Amino acid sequence: MSENHKECQDCGWRGMDAELDRTDEASDGQSHPFCPDCGGTEIIDLKPDDIQTDPES
């Protein structure tokens, strides 16, 4: 089981879904993720092909 990788469209931050900050501003009780670096709300899911891993040296 793998976590979803995310990217912030505002600043380019990449990380895991669990790293995102969340806020409960909605009256329906849903939380909305925002970037831990810049606070942006334009967070997208990365496709596995978009995720670059550093090869071990």
End-to-end CA distance of the chain: 26
pLDDT tens-digit series, residues 2-49: 468 999 999 999 999 889 988 766 566 777 889 999 999 999 999 877
| Nearest alpha carbon to residue 50 among 10, 9, 1 | 9
Global confidence as pTM? 0.67
For residue 50, pLDDT beyond 80: no
